[in-house]
Amino acid sequence: MTFIKKRGHWLTFLLMLAVVSGYSAADVYALDIGNLYSPLNDKRPFRPSTRYIILHTTEGSLDGSLRKVHRYGEAHYFVTPTGKVYRIIDRRRIATHTGRSMWNGKTTLDNMSIGIEVVGFHDKDITPAQYAALKELLRQLKRTYRIGDENILTHSMVAYGRPNRFHSQKHRGRKRCGMILSHPDVRKKLGLLAAPTRDPDVTAKRLVVADPDLHRFLYKPPRVLAALAASKDQQSMVIARGNNAWRIARDKYDSPHTLYVYPDGRKLRGSEIREWSNIPAGTRVTFLDEDREREQEFEGFLEIGKDGSTARDLAGDLYADATTIYFFPSGLIRTGAELNASASQRKQLNNPPKGTRVLVGYIYGGYVQKGRPASRIAGAKWNYPSTFYRLPNGRIMSGDEIGKTKIPTRTLIFMMK
Ligand SMILES: [Zn+2]
């Protein structure tokens, strides 16, 4: 009897505590969370700081997306349609989820953010179970890292593209990933009050807008979410006037996983197309295998004579920039800024020989040499997934794949800008 009475007191006390601290039984949501750590988890370096949480939609099925995110360590958390949450990368370590990214002048946001993958599509509302799970996960992370609601962003807000055939400048609109999670109604349901009201990098003219529809959705959203369905009807997968390959596929336009079916029945992959201005109207675009594209893959070299005939064709307005690197057939390697600084070398910049290879949007670290190891060139970032190595045999490896002791001299180091 005394025991029961005592227990009753405790319950009353706990209940009172709950009332005082603003919790009621209805607010308590137990996160269904488990470990499914990526094989890359142990290799990933610890993040020096955590300023943002970036939200993603998988744009694919549960199984395929989970396999890919797990294999490449592309998120810290993964939220299934039934609200189950998996830990993929230890939240203190770096996950590769944003690729080429910028926010408020800071780049490569993987190094300062937590990434959450939500199974779903950028233009489709998430499930009630996902709302509940994501809300609780965000509540916990916001508290742990003291992150304000305005620093909870979507991948589509922070991804940006290097100059390409369709845009001569660095641009926003490379991805629509997570777009739905920026809508005020959705954010409200997730317990997020503040949100960015404008794109700081577009405002500061660091980037231009390459997807006006996305930009409008993010910063001047339709009043009701249902309006999205109407705008989706206009999103055609067929090449037509005003609907070019960029509008349809965005950063996947030249991917080997994007297939173009021409009106005459010819089929070409994005990576096989050379004449981008001659794609006939009526060509249908399909994505073959969305689950294959890695978030932080090395973007590769462009080549004079293959991808264009001038430096401007390949690098746009960045052709003379310090982040554009030229590999001449003679073996000479120089940045655009270096070439532009001397009158004799400017000739090579203005007329690069056929076969010259070009990297756009990377910081050039130079060669590994005796007494000049990778850790001296790249500092703590030597094994970041965003750091790339070109071995003397031509092979490209990321910081994820390379071991410190095995880096031979004459290896080149590039850091993603
Ligand atoms: Zn994403």
Task: Judge if 265 and 376 occupy the same domain.
Answer: no
CA-nearest of 310, 252, 316, 313 to 285 is 252
Distance 379 CA to ligand 1 centre (A): 28
Q: Residue 153: helix, strand or coil by DSSP? A: strand
Task: State the Cα–Cα distance between residues 292 and 311, nearest whole angstrom.
Answer: 30
In a domain, 285, yes or no: yes
Mean pLDDT (the chain, rounded): 90
Task: Judge if 182 and 241 occupy the same domain.
Answer: no
Task: Judge if 82 and 217 occupy the same domain.
Answer: yes
Distance 56 CA to ligand 1 centre (A): 4
Task: Judge if 220 and 255 occupy the same domain.
Answer: no
Distance 2 CA to ligand 1 centre (A): 58
Distance 161 CA to ligand 1 centre (A): 14
CB 107 within 8 A of CB 417: yes
Task: Judge if 143 and 12 occupy the same domain.
Answer: no
The whole-number pLDDT of residue 279 equals 92
CB 225 within 8 A of CB 183: yes
Task: Judge if 143 and 208 occupy the same domain.
Answer: yes
Long-range contacts of 390-399 (CB under 8 A, 24+ apart): 390/414, 396/298, 398/296, 398/298
Task: Judge if 196 and 87 occupy the same domain.
Answer: yes
Distance 206 CA to ligand 1 centre (A): 21
Q: Is the pLDDT of residue 21 over 60?
A: no
Distance 155 CA to ligand 1 centre (A): 5
Task: Judge if 108 and 175 occupy the same domain.
Answer: yes
Q: Residue 403: helix, strand or coil by DSSP? A: coil
Q: How confident is the model at residue 149 (pLDDT cuts 50, 70, 90)?
A: very high
Distance 6 CA to ligand 1 centre (A): 53
Distance 52 CA to ligand 1 centre (A): 14
Distance 299 CA to ligand 1 centre (A): 17
Task: Judge if 183 and 326 occupy the same domain.
Answer: no
Residues in the chain: 417
Q: Is the pLDDT of residue 41 over 90?
A: yes
Which of 181-190, 234-243, 356-365 shows the lowest mean pLDDT across its residues? 234-243
Distance 267 CA to ligand 1 centre (A): 28
Tokens describing residue 387: 């750091």
The whole-number pLDDT of residue 1 equals 40
In this structure, are strands 396-398 and 387-390 parallel, antiparallel, or unpaired? antiparallel
CA-nearest of 40, 54, 71 to 118 is 54
Distance 265 CA to ligand 1 centre (A): 33
Distance 214 CA to ligand 1 centre (A): 14
In a domain, 384, yes or no: yes
CA-nearest of 293, 334, 340 to 99 is 293
Distance 160 CA to ligand 1 centre (A): 12
Q: Is the pLDDT of residue 5 over 50?
A: no
Q: Is the pLDDT of residue 173 over 90?
A: yes
Distance 58 CA to ligand 1 centre (A): 7
pLDDT 10s digits, 282-302: 999 998 876 667 888 888 899
Task: Judge if 315 and 398 occupy the same domain.
Answer: yes
- Rg of the chain, C-alpha, whole Å: 24
Task: State the Cα–Cα distance between residues 295 and 72, nearest whole angstrom.
Answer: 9
In a domain, 19, yes or no: yes
Q: Report which of residues 95 and 272 the model is more confident about.
A: 95
Distance 314 CA to ligand 1 centre (A): 26
**What is the distance between the terminal CA atoms of the chain, rounded to a whole angstrom?**
70
Half-sphere exposure of 232 (CA within 13 A, CB side): 12
Taking CA 305 as the corner, what is the angle to CA 339 and CA 414, rounded to the nearest 5 degrees? 50
pLDDT 10s digits, 364-399: 999 999 999 999 999 999 999 999 999 999 899 999
In a domain, 222, yes or no: yes
CB 384 within 8 A of CB 406: no
Task: State the Cα–Cα distance between residues 124 and 274, nearest whole angstrom.
Answer: 34
Q: Report which of residues 52 and 307 the model is more confident about.
A: 52
Domain range for 18:
1-30
Distance 236 CA to ligand 1 centre (A): 22
Task: Judge if 226 and 374 occupy the same domain.
Answer: no
CA-nearest of 364, 361, 314 to 101 is 361
Taking CA 116 as the corner, what is the angle to CA 111 and CA 121, rounded to the nearest 5 degrees? 125
Per the structure, the count of domains in the chain is: 4
Q: How confident is the model at residue 2 (pLDDT cuts 50, 70, 90)?
A: very low
Distance 378 CA to ligand 1 centre (A): 26
Distance 147 CA to ligand 1 centre (A): 20
Distance 201 CA to ligand 1 centre (A): 19
The whole-number pLDDT of residue 287 equals 87
Tell me the pTM: 0.88
Distance 88 CA to ligand 1 centre (A): 15
CB 5 within 8 A of CB 11: no
Distance 321 CA to ligand 1 centre (A): 28
Tokens describing residue 6: 């005592």
Task: State the Cα–Cα distance between residues 277 and 245, nearest whole angstrom.
Answer: 10
> For a pLDDT cut of 90, what percent of the chain falls above it?
75
pLDDT 10s digits, 57-87: 999 899 999 999 999 999 999 999 999 999 9
Q: Is the pLDDT of residue 339 over 70?
A: yes
Torsion of CA 399, 404, 409, 415, to 10 degrees: 20
Distance 117 CA to ligand 1 centre (A): 7
Distance 342 CA to ligand 1 centre (A): 41
pLDDT 10s digits, 205-251: 999 999 999 999 999 998 877 766 555 555 789 999 889 999 898 88
In a domain, 297, yes or no: no
Task: Judge if 54 and 179 occupy the same domain.
Answer: yes
Long-range contacts of 228-236 (CB under 8 A, 24+ apart): 228/123, 228/180, 232/123
Q: Is the pLDDT of residue 11 over 60?
A: no
The whole-number pLDDT of residue 9 equals 58
DSSP 179-246: GGGGSHHHHHHTT------S-HHHHTTSSEES-HHHHHHHHS--SSTTHHHHHHHT--SB-BTTB-HH
